């Protein structure tokens, strides 16, 4: 087996272990993960693999590829978090291995390609999307696959195999997230073509021979044919099943409207992504900064030009959109990882050495940012621990009554999370400070080792010890499991105000979402003692509902369960209640999720 193939396999299986680690030990996160998980469950339950549904209603948000990918593991491994996140992990591992081979195709050395693969594995944004049951891991892989095919076609000449691969990748991308993937690839290809033609006009490089019209038409016909063969059957079925409503509604709401107006308040200034990139690229921010500067200096090299045409138009496209979210730029991050690999290779060959000696400010800026992060994290932890110590001191002196519910819970939760938080903080702080110092001293290999090893250790501690402890603070899973364990199997579950998708997933049998003013319908359901019903809401909301309701309430309707949690989506502590019209049974283990 060749060294390239051995390393390629290593860069698949090693990331796969990390991307799968702890995936079944912590609950899904609102609000995207549970929507995909529950829609996949409903696909499996109903056998309808054409139109996605969530909580009984059509889910217009995305095409079905993500649900199809999740359906296999969830059918085999069961309806659980590990199975739901399995496709994202596998695609993340495939992405890492493909980045390794892509870097070699761009001209990187073995060590440079390994640096690119390491970045594609450990960059914060890519690590997160590889562990989430959403569309992002599949989208990143499809864009990377497409761009790899584009590079091979552009640099090595036309190949029917690569052309078919490109068309298949674009079809896959459309079935994952609509036109986003083709838009990124199309912008990159168009920019690359224009840049190349401009260089030929100013005699920087020879002009390429244009394709004959007949060949261009044939290529277009074959490309459209492959694309339609893969993507059109589902589109036709979805159009027929919904009279065109699914495709039109999905395109209007999730493409046009998100470009024109901020969706769900997700707006941002024009520098939104420029400001976020140092954090999204963590802990490779310093290397990315120097590599980006080197890419601009070496922009007339074919590989660097290609990566710039991939990254810059994509960032501009997302910047122009009114709706902005950090993970939108995830399909562009592999370009940064590849640029790091090329810079590392040039540095090994000495090609970047003279330039690097002159760019001390860029190196210092990256090192300074990471050292600042390394100092700020323990400082923040000390403030948190000091706050915790004051509250504990108050409690020990019998002043519990003087503490609010928020303070009591914060004290208890800080004590529970203190160990993992401290360990993760110290790992990151040590790695960032040591790596920053090595980076300033131009000991690049040592800097990379410090950043990656400490970040990897921090990620393992967080996944194995931290996130499982966080689960006890979150409401959805314990509330749903309480009903599973204590209520009759035919219980009608109602939610008012607390309507997180994760609760729908963990209950699994459909939740009736009522508005805060639908009092009559709510109390009619609760007063119908012939049918078990359970209401999940906030304690203060239940008090208001009781005061506002003027009619009689059955004696069977009463508060069955109350507990305090932390709602991460709103950043506050809450008291949750379950109100029912049945007598709770003795607790029995819930059968699955």
Domain boundaries, the chain: 3-358, 370-466, 476-580
Verify cis geometry, omega within 30 degrees of 0, for the bond prior to 31.
yes
> CA end-to-end span of the chain, whole Å?
44
The pLDDT value recorded for residue 250 is: 81
**Do residues 263 and 257 make contact, with C-beta atoms less than 8 angstroms apart?**
yes
* Closest-CA residue to 549 (of 514, 516, 582): 516
Spatial distance between the Cα atoms of 124 and 120, rounded to a whole number of angstroms? 9
- In the chain (593 residues long), the average pLDDT of successive 10-residue segments reads 88 97 92 94 95 92 94 96 98 98 96 97 97 97 97 90 94 95 95 86 58 66 90 94 87 75 76 92 94 89 94 95 92 98 89 60 90 87 60 46 56 74 91 94 94 95 91 91 92 93 94 85 90 94 86 85 86 89 74 56
261-282 burial string, b = 16+ CB within 10 Å, else e? eebeeeebeeebbeebbbebbb
CA distance 341 to 107: 9
Reading the block at residue 558, the tokens are 């009463």
Q: How far apart are CA 241 and CA 51, in angstroms?
A: 8
Secondary structure of residue 531 in the 3-state scheme:
coil
Closest by Cα among 493, 466, 467, 470 to 482: 493
Q: With beta carbons less than 8 A apart as the criterion, state whether 62 and 177 touch.
A: yes
The residue count of the chain comes to 593
Neighbours of 322 (CB within 10 A): 14
Beta carbons within 8 Å of 397's beta carbon, 6+ residues apart? none
203: left (phi over 0), alpha (psi -120 to 50) or beta: left
The token pair at 511 is 């939740």
> What pLDDT, on a 0 to 100 scale, did the predictor assign at position 85?
97
- Per-residue pLDDT tens over the stretch 42-87: 999 999 999 999 998 999 888 999 999 999 999 999 999 999 999 9
One of 1.20.120, 3.30.420, 3.40.50, 3.40.190 is the CATH number of 476-580, namely 3.40.190
CB atoms inside a 10 Å sphere around CB 534: 27
Q: Which of 349, 348, 362 is nearest to 297 (CA)?
A: 362
- 568, 490 Cβ separation under 8 angstroms: no
561: enclosing H helix or E strand:
strand 558-567
How far is it, in rounded angstroms, from Cα 518 to Cα 503?
20
Q: What is the pLDDT of residue 513?
A: 92
């Amino acid at each position: 087996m060749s060294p390239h193939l051995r390393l390629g396999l290593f860069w698949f299986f090693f990331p796969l272990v990390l991307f799968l680690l702890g995936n079944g030990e912590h609950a899904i996160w609102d609000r995207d993960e549970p929507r995909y998980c529950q829609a996949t469950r409903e696909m499996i339950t109903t056998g309808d693999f054409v139109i996605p549904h969530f909580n009984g209603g059509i889910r217009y948000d995305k095409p079905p590829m993500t649900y199809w990918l999740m359906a296999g593991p969830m059918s085999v491994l069961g309806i659980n978090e590990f199975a739901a996140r399995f496709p994202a992990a596998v695609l993340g591992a495939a992405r890492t291995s493909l980045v390794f081979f892509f870097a070699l195709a761009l001209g990187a050395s073995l060590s440079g390609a390994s640096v690119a693969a390491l970045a594609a594995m450990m960059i914060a944004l890519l690590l997160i999307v590889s562990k989430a049951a959403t569309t992002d891991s599949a989208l990143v892989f499809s864009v990377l696959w497409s761009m790899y095919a584009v590079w091979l076609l552009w640099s090595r000449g036309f190949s029917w195999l690569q052309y078919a691969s490109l068309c298949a990748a674009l079809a896959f991308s459309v079935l994952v997230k609509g036109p986003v993937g083709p838009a990124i690839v199309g912008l990159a290809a168009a920019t690359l073509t224009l840049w190349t033609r401009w260089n030929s006009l100013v005699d920087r490089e020879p002009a390429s021979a244009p394709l004959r019209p007949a060949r261009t038409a044939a290529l277009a016909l074959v490309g459209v044919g492959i694309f339609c063969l893969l993507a059109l059957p589902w589109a036709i079925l979805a159009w027929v099943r919904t009279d065109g409503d699914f495709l039109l509604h999905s395109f209007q709401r999730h493409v046009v409207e998100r470009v024109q107006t901020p969706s769900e308040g997700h707006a941002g200034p024009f520098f939104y992504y420029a400001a976020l990139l140092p954090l999204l690229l963590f802990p490779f921010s310093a290397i990315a900064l120097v590599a980006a500067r080197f890419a601009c200096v070496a922009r007339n090299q074919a590989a660097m030009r290609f990566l710039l045409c991939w990254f810059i138009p994509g960032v501009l496209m997302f910047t122009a959109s009114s709706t902005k979210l950090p993970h939108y730029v995830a399909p562009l991050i592999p370009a940064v990882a590849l640029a790091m690999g090329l810079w590392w290779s040039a540095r090994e060959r000495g090609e970047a050495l003279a330039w690097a000696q002159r760019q001390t400010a860029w190196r210092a800026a990256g090192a300074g940012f990471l050292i600042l992060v390394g100092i700020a994290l323990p400082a923040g932890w000390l403030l948190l621990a000091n706050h915790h110590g004051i509250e504990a001191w108050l409690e020990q002196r019998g002043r519990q009554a003087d503490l609010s519910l928020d303070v009591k819970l914060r004290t208890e939760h800080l004590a529970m999370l203190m160990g993992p938080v401290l360990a993760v903080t110290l790992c990151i702080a040590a790695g960032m400070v040591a790596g920053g110092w090595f980076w300033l001293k131009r000991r690049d290999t040592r800097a990379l080792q410090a950043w990656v090893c400490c970040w990897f250790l921090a990620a393992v501690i967080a996944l194995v010890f931290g996130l499982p402890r966080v689960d006890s603070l979150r409401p959805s899973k314990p509330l749903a499991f309480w009903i599973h364990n204590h209520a009759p199997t035919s219980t009608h579950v109602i939610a008012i105000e607390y309507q997180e998708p994760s609760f729908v997933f963990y209950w699994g049998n459909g939740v009736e979402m009522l508005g805060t003013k639908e009092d009559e319908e709510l109390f009619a359901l609760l007063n119908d003692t012939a049918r078990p019903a359970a209401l999940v809401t906030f304690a203060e909301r239940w008090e208001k509902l009781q005061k506002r309701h003027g009619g009689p309430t059955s004696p069977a309707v009463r508060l069955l369960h109350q507990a305090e949690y932390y709602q991460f989506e709103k950043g506050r502590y809450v008291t949750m209640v379950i109100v029912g019209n049945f007598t709770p049974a003795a607790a029995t283990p819930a059968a699955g999720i």
